[in-house]
A and B are shown apart, each in its own frame.
Chain A
Amino acid sequence: MRRWLAQVAPGAIVLALLLLGIQEAVDIGLVKRSLMPAPTDIGRVLWELFIDGQVAGPLAETLARLGIGFAVGASLAVMMGLAMAYWPAVYGLFEPLVELLRPIPKAALVPPLVLFLGVGDAMKITSIALAVFFPVLINTVQGARGVDPVLIDTARTLGVRPLRLLRQVILPASAPFIFAGIRLSIALGLILAVISEMIAGTGGLGFLIIDMQRAFRVRQMYAWIVILAVVGYLLNLLFLAAERRFLFWYRATERT
């Protein structure tokens, strides 16, 4: 208990002091309220947003876009990555194209996508899927190419066909790499969700943050940023839990 306290107390104290400091600086007028409202005011706005359920709509909107874009981007990337790792011809065919498209910062694709898909969900989901696609693809290829050849040869000797081999041997064996790619891409996907909502939005967390800033409703702006931060934090926790559940065998072999 005392050990735990020594671990946690310094951080908690610094954090509390920081919040108190901001509160005090705002109260005595050192910082303008129009720039940085008091933490208690932000807390009050947050409380109201939660109490009357206003938080649900925009949150669901952003999460739905992120979920769909992520699912599409990640599953396509895993399939294509496995194919590229397994068949050298597929690798040769797509590798140069991937290398050409990969370094484009995906945020820069939002304006052209707006031209083709408009400012609606299709554009946002596509940009999220694109952002998610490349890290997962690269990691899948890397992971699947590094699978122990003995595993693959054994399966082949036992007459396992390519599709089953991919699904039951190569996919699980490269799962640690795929998960690493997915973890990177969750953060990227959230960034793209926010950006696309900011640039061409009518709803969602990103839109609200920039809309509140333009309307000088500063307390609301900070409240939505806090909500977004919590979303980012929880998504990461969720992912770590999923990783622990699916990769328990990997962690176990790591330790020994």
Chain B
Amino acid sequence: MLGRRSGLLLIAVLLLSWEMSARTGLITSENWPPVSAILAGLIHETLYGDLVQVIGATLSRFALGYLIGICAGTIVGFAFALVPFLRRMFEPIIELLRPIPAPALIPPLVLFLGVDDLMKVTIIAVTAFFPVAINTMQGASGVEPVYLAVASTLQTGPARVLMKIILPNTLPYVLAGMRISLALALVVTIVSEMIAGASGVGYYLILMQYAARSADMYAALFVIAALGYALNAVFLVAEKRLIFWYAPEP
């Protein structure tokens, strides 16, 4: 396809003019290192620096917080959908907490939990929780009533109804929520590292900015972008496998 080739060409041209403008002195600025210097920095930091540990710290924190958040979100979402009374009891609290932008919760959590992993995993989990809980609740309460009526006509047991009807019909919603959570949780991971503590890619990024090592700062940015891209790609593959039978309405 000609179209896509022109787009890839545009990216190449942009990168090349970045490189040239920095090399030829068209733009001489500490903040504008040539692309090749960024890549060299990236390779150097990976081989001889501690970039690998830095990424590991970020990823493990992210993974733990995200897992806790989506598990809690799924459980709460199902509980709310299946037991309306629970929903009536606890929905107002959730509705009160939900509009708070997650980064604003970092300062109070720092007071309670310090600046280390515990605080970060908690805020990541809280961030991942809400979209999954809301989506799961919507999905599970939106199951086609006819299916449930048929099941009850056939005297299907509640466990079977849950496993065979409610769960599969809710899965696409749960996964949609998990996908929203993924992006948000990554943002909050980076932000929490930027604001508090002394490890992870977010901390590294802001440290390099303060140290005016702009090539290494951009290298960190590349790493973060790659993380975002890879996580999303992995998720899409998993989603396709899990709900291969589900085609969203056009």
- Please measure, in the bound complex, the distance between the C-alpha atom of A116 and the C-alpha atom of B27, giving whole angstroms: 13
- Which B-chain residue is minimally distant from A87 (CB atoms)? B3
Q: Is the CB of A191 within 8 A of B111?
A: no
* Interface size, chain B (Cβ < 8 Å): 58
- B2 near A103 with CB under 8 A, answer no
Task: Find chain B residues with CB under 8 A from A114 CB.
Answer: 209
Candidates A34, A89, A111; contact of B206 at CB < 8 Å: A111
Chain A residue nearest to B205 (CB atoms) is A111
Is B90 among interface residues, defined by CB-CB distance under 8 A? Answer: yes
> Are A199 and B195 closer than 8 Å at their CB atoms?
yes
A232 CA to B228 CA, complexed, in Å: 26
**Contact residues in A for B232 (Cβ distance below 8 Å):** 103
Stretch binding the partner chain, chosen from A160-168, A171-179, A221-229 = A221-229
Q: A105-B224, A228-B101 are in contact. Are A111 and B217 (CB under 8 A)?
A: yes
Q: Give the number of A-B contacts (CB < 8 Å).
A: 167
**Residue A213 is within 8 A (CB to CB) of chain B in the complex:** yes
Q: Is A233's CB under 8 angstroms from B99's CB? A: yes
Interface size class of A (residues with CB under 8 A): 35 or more
Q: How far is the CA of A124 from the CA of B91 in the complex (A)?
A: 34
B97 surroundings in chain A (CB, below 8 A): 229
Asked if A180 is at the interface of the complex by the 8 Å CB criterion, the answer is no
Chain A nearest CB from B234 CB (Å) reads 12
Q: Which residues of B contact A105 (CB under 8 A)?
A: 183, 186-187, 190, 224, 228
The answer to whether B186 and A92 touch across the interface, beta carbons within 8 angstroms, is: no
Does the CB pair A93–B92 fall under 8 Å?
Answer: no
Report if A150 contacts B (CB, 8 A): no
Among A103, A218, A236, max chain B CB count under 10 A is at: A103
- B47 interface residue per 8 A CB criterion: no
The answer on a CB contact under 8 Å between B3 and A89 is: yes
CB nearest neighbor in A for B107: A213
* Residues of chain B lying within 8 A (CB to CB) of residue A88: 3
The reply on A132 being an interface residue by CB < 8 A is: no
Most buried by B among A88, A106, A115, A232: A115
Complex interface: stretch among A7-15, A45-53, A75-83, A247-255: A7-15
- Residues B107 and A221 in contact, CB atoms below 8 Å apart: yes
Cα A115 to Cα B216 with chains together (Å) = 13
Most buried by B among A222, A229, A230: A229
Q: Give min CB distance, A27 to chain B, whole Å.
A: 19
A191 with B101: CB separation less than 8 A: yes
Chain A residues 86-108 with CB under 8 Å of chain B are: 88-89, 91-97, 100-101, 103-108
Chain A contacts to B: CB under 8 angstroms:
6-8, 10-15, 18, 34-36, 88-89, 91-97, 100-101, 103-112, 114-116, 146, 187, 190-191, 194-195, 198-199, 205-206, 209-210, 212-213, 218, 221-222, 225, 228-233, 235-236
Give 11 A-B contacts (CB < 8 Å), ordered by A residue. A7-B88, A92-B3, A101-B225, A103-B232, A104-B228, A105-B228, A108-B202, A194-B103, A199-B206, A218-B111, A221-B107
What 9 A-B pairs come out closest when comparing CB atoms?
A: A92-B3, A232-B99, A103-B228, A213-B107, A96-B7, A11-B92, A111-B209, A115-B31, A233-B99
Hey, which bits of chain B sit against chain A, CB under 8 A?
Answer: 1-8, 10-11, 14, 30-31, 85, 88-93, 96-97, 99-108, 110-112, 183, 186-187, 190-191, 194-195, 202, 205-206, 208-209, 214, 217-218, 220-221, 224-225, 228-229, 232, 250
